[in-house]
């Protein structure tokens, strides 16, 4: 009798593992992989187009930024494949290590000889062959810590004391980043922190309680630094200082507006000839609009929406809370950074520097985002084990 029951159980499990759901959850998400690869390669193309003249003038090599971006793509794809093959539960065990590394890197940027100052900010760490932006790693370190904490203390997330550790860690990271100074990434980390608390189960009254001090802090940060106040005024009326603080935003408007519906054509941008500052990085979306038009921008946004939707689906189908919060945090990070970047380029919020994920020039951002996609794939691949265990339990209960 027992032998027959075991055969029946094995047959039920085999049938379950052959079902479309099992195969779908147990395999790679090739759509997610494909969209990521296309975005990264599109980024290489647009970085070359946006930077060719700048690179030729300043480095006597029109391919300078493109080669750097290709280097980031190679390392990013390697990180993506490596993280997809690894078990994402390792990150849970290493959460304090990753958080510690993030904080140490954020502190190292202030040490002379290690931190690199550029445009009045110390955001990069100098390595033998390249530089890394510490805040890019810190964002991922925070996601891992928050996901692990919320998964372990799910029953406490509805209390204010329960969410304090996430607020404290996020607050420390924000303070270190704003000290660099880097207002844009501080905003992203702050929004990411609240997004993760929301998906972790924090109550609306907690967000209302935090709203006043957050708004007050934002106002103080703007008032404390004259250049931030100038940026705010330039956002309100950029034509009041067309050659000063309003210059970049006006040039971004020209770039987007001249593209029209279909664009001027690939490589035909005029604003990249040193008119639009940071055209290959923070304002690359303006060059996309100029060369590929509104349709090109809409296709790019559609790719981001598809990528974020796949990440949300992976979070929904995760076999445990840590995987759910981890994937959800990555989806929130991509969504927040895309929205903030495009809002800046289109003049919807005050100007601030922030790369467009997978597309803007910058190896640190590209590698970290590609590694995050690998983590999403790892969560998806290991979701099928939960389905198998569930099938066994159901069959055992029937017998």
pLDDT tens digits along 56-80:
999 999 999 999 999 999 999 999 9
Indicate left, alpha or beta for 297 from its phi (over 0: left) and psi (-120 to 50: alpha): alpha
**What is the per-residue pLDDT for 5?**
45
Count of Cβ atoms closer than 10 Å to residue 112 Cβ: 7
39 neighbors 365 (Cβ within 8 angstroms): no
**What is the per-residue pLDDT for 369?**
97
Predicted TM-score (pTM) of this structure:
0.87
b/e map of 301-326 (b: 16 or more CB within 10 Å)?
eebbeebbebbbbbbebbbbebbbbb
Q: Give the helix/strand (H/E) hosting 122.
A: strand 121-126
Choose among 169, 174, 177: nearest CA to 148: 169
Residue with tokens 């550790």: 165
Strand-pair category, 121-126 with 115-118: antiparallel
pLDDT tens digits along 189-209:
999 999 999 999 888 888 888
**What is the per-residue pLDDT for 395?**
58
User: In degrees to the nearest 10, what's the CA dihedral of 186, 188, 192, 193?
Assistant: 10
- What is the DSSP-derived secondary structure letter of residue 283? T
Tokens representing 233?
């005024």
Rg from Cα positions in the chain: 23
Residues 68, 73: Cα–Cα separation, whole Å = 9
**What is the per-residue pLDDT for 9?**
41
**What is the per-residue pLDDT for 36?**
97
**What is the per-residue pLDDT for 140?**
95
**What is the per-residue pLDDT for 384?**
61
CA distances from residue 359 to 5, 109, 124, 165, 355 in whole angstroms, order as listed: 55, 25, 19, 33, 8
CA distances from residue 111 to 46, 102, 122, 169, 223 in whole angstroms, order as listed: 34, 15, 9, 22, 27
**What is the per-residue pLDDT for 343?**
92
Sign of CA dihedral 147, 151, 153, 156: positive
Chain-centre distance for alpha carbon 196: 13
List, for the chain, all residue ranges whose pLDDT scores fall below the cut of 50.
1-3, 5-25, 386-387
Residues 254, 249: Cα–Cα separation, whole Å = 9
């Amino acid at each position: 009798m027992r032998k027959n029951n075991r055969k029946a159980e094995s047959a039920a499990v085999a049938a379950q593992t052959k079902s479309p759901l099992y195969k779908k959850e147990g395999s790679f998400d090739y759509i997610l992989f494909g969209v990521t690869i296309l975005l990264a390669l599109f980024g290489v193309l647009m970085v070359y187009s946006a930077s060719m003249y700048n690179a030729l003038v300043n480095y006597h090599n029109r391919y300078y930024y493109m080669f750097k971006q290709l280097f980031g793509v190679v390392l990013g794809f390697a990180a993506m494949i490596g993280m997809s093959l690894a078990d994402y539960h390792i990150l849970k065990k290493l959460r304090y290590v990753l958080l510690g590394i993030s904080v140490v890197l954020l502190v190292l940027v202030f040490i002379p000889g290690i931190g690199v100052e550029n445009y009045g900010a110390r955001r990069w760490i100098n390595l033998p062959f390249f530089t890394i932006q510490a805040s890019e790693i810190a964002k991922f370190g925070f996601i891992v810590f928050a996901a692990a904490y919320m998964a372990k203390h799910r029953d406490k997330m509805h209390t204010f004391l329960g969410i304090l550790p996430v607020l404290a860690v996020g607050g420390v990271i924000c303070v270190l980043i704003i000290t660099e100074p880097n207002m844009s990434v501080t905003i992203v980390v702050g929004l990411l922190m609240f997004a993760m608390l929301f998906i972790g189960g924090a109550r609306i009254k907690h967000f209302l309680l935090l709203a006043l001090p957050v708004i007050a802090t934002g106002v103080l940060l703007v008032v404390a630094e004259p250049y931030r106040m100038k940026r705010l005024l330039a956002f309100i009326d950029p034509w009041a200082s067309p050659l000063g603080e309003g210059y970049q935003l006006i040039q971004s408007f020209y770039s987007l507006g001249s593209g029209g519906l279909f664009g001027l054509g690939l490589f035909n941008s005029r604003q990249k000839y040193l008119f639009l500052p940071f055209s290959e990085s923070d304002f690359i979306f303006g060059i996309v609009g100029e060369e590929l038009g509104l349709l090109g921008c809409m296709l790019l946004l559609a790719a981001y929406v598809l990528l974020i939707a796949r990440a949300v689906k992976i979070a929904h189908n995760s076999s445990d809370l840590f995987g759910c919060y981890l994937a959800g945090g990555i989806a929130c990070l991509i969504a927040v950074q895309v929205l903030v970047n495009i809002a800046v380029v289109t003049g919807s919020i005050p100007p601030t520097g922030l790369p467009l994920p997978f597309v803007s020039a910058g190896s640190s951002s590209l590698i970290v985002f590609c590694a995050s996609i690998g983590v999403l794939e790892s969560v998806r691949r290991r979701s099928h084990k939960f389905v198998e265990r569930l099938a066994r339990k159901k069959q055992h209960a029937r017998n």
